[in-house]
Structure 1
């Protein structure tokens, strides 16, 4: 019996291995910057764990400074026609610069999604690529939660899909119940510890955010009308709820705790890689500052392109007041000719950020507050000073401040003297380093790595035929049923009807009593 059972277990194991090797997954990477990097990493993790991965890659949205890496999976590139591609990139660069300059103005984000809606329409019209994807018969699609076109691709292919949100949770709600008393709404810049006025603000921001989301989704209305038959047009805002799983590239070492559904999985730290020795020229530069150590300054691929002369000048003057060395990502071509580089500063087009954050001499990380950068800093227990520009960055820095890992500095207020004082405070006050190391301990003490969680859950839904058992029935209910409005209306009607009936009965009793008294007097 024992021998039979062991053979059965071996048989099941081999069946599972064959199944996993045979599973075909299509990943989609059409957004640039950190979104592109996360999807690259996810694709490679799945390929390394036995899946047959194909990545559909839109080579239209390209952000300079993002390094291409060698991959072992199949890549399908698609482009706009050359004349359209140049026009698209010019328009996108103008909008990205406007986004950085105006600090997350909603109307700029709407314009970007309108541009993406037009790009999506072009892609869905590429019958050659769509036919190829249909013929490949993928078992699963996996794409960025914010890439709205990918939902329409999944609808066209009629395939199950999984999403990855490359930022912290508040940016989308995933249909989750969000108690507004302690779950801050995106854009509110609140923590989970709100006073009365904070809860008032959060309540009002919920409606504001809902309207803004609806406006963003509406930018794809024309694309849906063009590429879907009238009787089968999807409601784009409903499609995210169809995801079998939703992975969040965040961690509770950084984010606020909140209610989750079983199909919502935190995998913060997907970009983690073993630290390697840094180049000798950087080691030589760092060693010049001895025990003082060094400060790493990296403001992300988009912001690096749009740093103003005034910002560079003030930051350079602030760094000159520090005893530490400073490694700073600024392209030579963007450095103002009339600004003299501080003697303790070294500027570079690109730095090995993860390797530098792991260096024992690092004292501080000056960041724009992007999620990948924050996760890397927490992984190595490095305090931060954040200069948030746009998108999720301000919300990220609210969480960093709430966890006491660092401080946030408003772009408009940066002056050399006060900025230098802020940098010195975070470097010298050991409470920030202690909080950073505490966050590191939380982040590193999970029983499974982010990659193991990702692969394990993908295994689960493929072997179980999908994630329907992980999603509440509420996803299929109309909004008024989900929020018990029908029940509230029924109870209100019942209460009013009862009060009306009591009034009538009381009136009848009073009239009877009145008649009886008159007869008695008579």
Structure 2
């Protein structure tokens, strides 16, 4: 059986994990098809994406117009791809049985629609960050962007209700950026809606886990596979081991702010963090490039910076005391896997929402980038390291994370195999996906009952009026 994987960007580590694991007990053979625009057009697209990412980092979270601008660029890129008849014909000639795509690449949905193939979706973020028709229990499921937990008072529920409309508007605005692409590449009468294409997925794999996520209702075709990148621990390089040993029982702190965030670390941020680390008895291993280190900032004696660190292996080390990260979902999953408390410095996107969940689970603390100062940051680091409740909560999350009967990779591969063997996932999708929105939300029933109630009240009013008039006429006749 053959699987076609559509992924953007192809350099994503999850992409290569999927290629190496989705083999269904056969020989691990895969072929990578690279597609790029002509050099001048590609440079223009790359520049637009770069400017938008910088804008996202500057804002600290996804703003409607900024994320819509990013997807406008993706839609232009998509139009170029769908114009490539040679690529489409080549894919049609491939004998694959199923397509696996990344939910953030909406062009994949249009490409699969062109190919007429069944597909499953991998969603790299938490389940609330895209509407694919999971039950909306707004009284305890916080909307994406609300920064709420599952424990809401009255005003929090009001905010969550309003955020539902805000989120819906944002998703519609993003989808609308592909209207021109759809009109250009699909014939009138057969032009799809992106919101409908989402519902055609046989399965949704969500990169999350209930050790991290708030409990919520899921549909049978939704599978949590957070922790796909788990791998056996390896010994760390000797130079890192020598550094850690110097701090004996105090242990060490791992600092890794992600590839994108690291690019936008300011001199002021590095200075404040370095000053805070100097107050710790622990050693600090920091993923920070020499080229980014300010020349006029003297590195703290307990700090060691490196361009790259073996993050997973260091998180498994018995001497680790704390993980300072950017709130990225994969970093969080790795920390939970090894029971390590966290301090998060979210830069943008889902990182803010991820840290809300970490704080709610008492696994760590979030620090706002705009207000990070050495003195308060050092105090926060010491609090999370020294307060045993954080370590206890991290170990409890670790137990939940590890207690699944199947690993995330076994769940993902097993479910894909199930879809291939049964010819699709129709038996996993509710009939509600085929109902109009007013039927699914029982608005027709409510209107009927409202009309029936009003009609009954009107009829009772009329009958009462007739009765009162007849009684009045009887009294007049008696008087006369």
TM over 0.5: yes
Pairwise CA RMSD = 1.3
Which of residues 390, 396, 401 in structure 1 aligns to 2:354? 396
Instruction: Write the deviation string for residues 458-481 of structure 1: whole angstroms up to 9, x where unpaired.
Output: 111111110001000000000000
- Looking at structure 1, the residues matched to 200 and 48 of structure 2 have their Cα atoms a distance apart, in angstroms, of 32
- Looking at structure 2, the residues matched to 381 and 161 of structure 1 have their Cα atoms a distance apart, in angstroms, of 35
Which residue in 2 is equivalent to 1:90? 47
Which residue in 2 is equivalent to 1:9? none
Which of residues 60, 69, 82 in structure 2 aligns to 1:103? 60
Any residues of structure 2 matched to 1:159-174 within 5 Å, and which?
Answer: 159-174=117-132
Alignment partner of 1:458 is 2:436: no
Give the superposition deviation at 1:245: 0.3
- Looking at structure 2, the residues matched to 106 and 31 of structure 1 have their Cα atoms a distance apart, in angstroms, of 22
Alignment partner of 1:81 is 2:38: yes
**Alpha carbons of structure 1 residues 489 and 51: separation in structure 2 relative to 1, 3 Å:** farther
Which residue in 2 is equivalent to 1:10? none
Which residue in 1 is equivalent to 2:265? 307
Alignment partner of 1:517 is 2:475: yes
Deviation larger for 169-178 or 419-428: 169-178
**Alpha carbons of structure 1 residues 140 and 519: separation in structure 2 relative to 1, 3 Å:** same
Which residue in 1 is equivalent to 2:277? 319
Alignment partner of 1:38 is 2:14: yes
TM-score normalised by length of structure 2: 0.98
Give the superposition deviation at 1:43: 2.6
- Looking at structure 2, the residues matched to 222 and 249 of structure 1 have their Cα atoms a distance apart, in angstroms, of 31
Which residue in 2 is equivalent to 1:125? 83
- Looking at structure 2, the residues matched to 290 and 426 of structure 1 have their Cα atoms a distance apart, in angstroms, of 19
Which residue in 1 is equivalent to 2:191? 233
Which residue in 2 is equivalent to 1:279? 237
Any residues of structure 2 matched to 1:420-435 within 5 Å, and which?
Answer: 420-435=378-393
- Looking at structure 1, the residues matched to 458 and 27 of structure 2 have their Cα atoms a distance apart, in angstroms, of 68
Paired residues of 1:185 and 1:209 also in contact (CA < 8 A): yes
- Looking at structure 2, the residues matched to 441 and 506 of structure 1 have their Cα atoms a distance apart, in angstroms, of 68
Alignment partner of 1:50 is 2:25: yes
Deviation larger for 476-485 or 163-172: 163-172
Q: 1:443 is paired with a residue of what secondary structure?
A: helix
Instruction: Write the deviation string for residues 356-399 of structure 1: whole angstroms up to 9, x where unpaired.
Output: 10111111000101010000000011000000111111111011
Runs of 5+ consecutive residues of structure 1 not aligned to the other structure: 1-22, 54-71
**Alpha carbons of structure 1 residues 188 and 32: separation in structure 2 relative to 1, 3 Å:** farther
Which residue in 2 is equivalent to 1:437? 395
- Looking at structure 1, the residues matched to 68 and 413 of structure 2 have their Cα atoms a distance apart, in angstroms, of 34
Q: 1:520 is paired with a residue of what secondary structure?
A: helix
Give the superposition deviation at 1:515: 1.5
Any residues of structure 2 matched to 1:136-151 within 5 Å, and which?
Answer: 136-151=94-109
**Alpha carbons of structure 1 residues 346 and 309: separation in structure 2 relative to 1, 3 Å:** same
Which residue in 2 is equivalent to 1:216? 174
Q: 1:265 is paired with a residue of what secondary structure?
A: strand
Which residue in 2 is equivalent to 1:14? none
Which of residues 449, 454, 458 in structure 2 aligns to 1:491? 449
Give the superposition deviation at 1:323: 1.1
Give the superposition deviation at 1:173: 3.0
Paired residues of 1:381 and 1:437 also in contact (CA < 8 A): yes
Give the superposition deviation at 1:157: 0.3
Paired residues of 1:321 and 1:420 also in contact (CA < 8 A): yes
**Alpha carbons of structure 1 residues 494 and 406: separation in structure 2 relative to 1, 3 Å:** same
Q: 1:423 is paired with a residue of what secondary structure?
A: helix
- Looking at structure 2, the residues matched to 115 and 374 of structure 1 have their Cα atoms a distance apart, in angstroms, of 29
- Looking at structure 2, the residues matched to 495 and 404 of structure 1 have their Cα atoms a distance apart, in angstroms, of 50
Instruction: Write the deviation string for residues 396-453 of structure 1: whole angstroms up to 9, x where unpaired.
Output: 1011011111000011110001100100110111111111111101100111111111
How many pairs align?
479
Whose relative contact order is higher, 1 or 2, with alpha carbons under 8 Å and at least 6 apart? 2
- Looking at structure 1, the residues matched to 202 and 134 of structure 2 have their Cα atoms a distance apart, in angstroms, of 14
Paired residues of 1:253 and 1:439 also in contact (CA < 8 A): yes
Any residues of structure 2 matched to 1:406-425 within 5 Å, and which?
Answer: 406-425=364-383
- Looking at structure 2, the residues matched to 173 and 389 of structure 1 have their Cα atoms a distance apart, in angstroms, of 23
Which residue in 1 is equivalent to 2:291? 333
Which residue in 2 is equivalent to 1:66? none
Give the superposition deviation at 1:44: 1.9
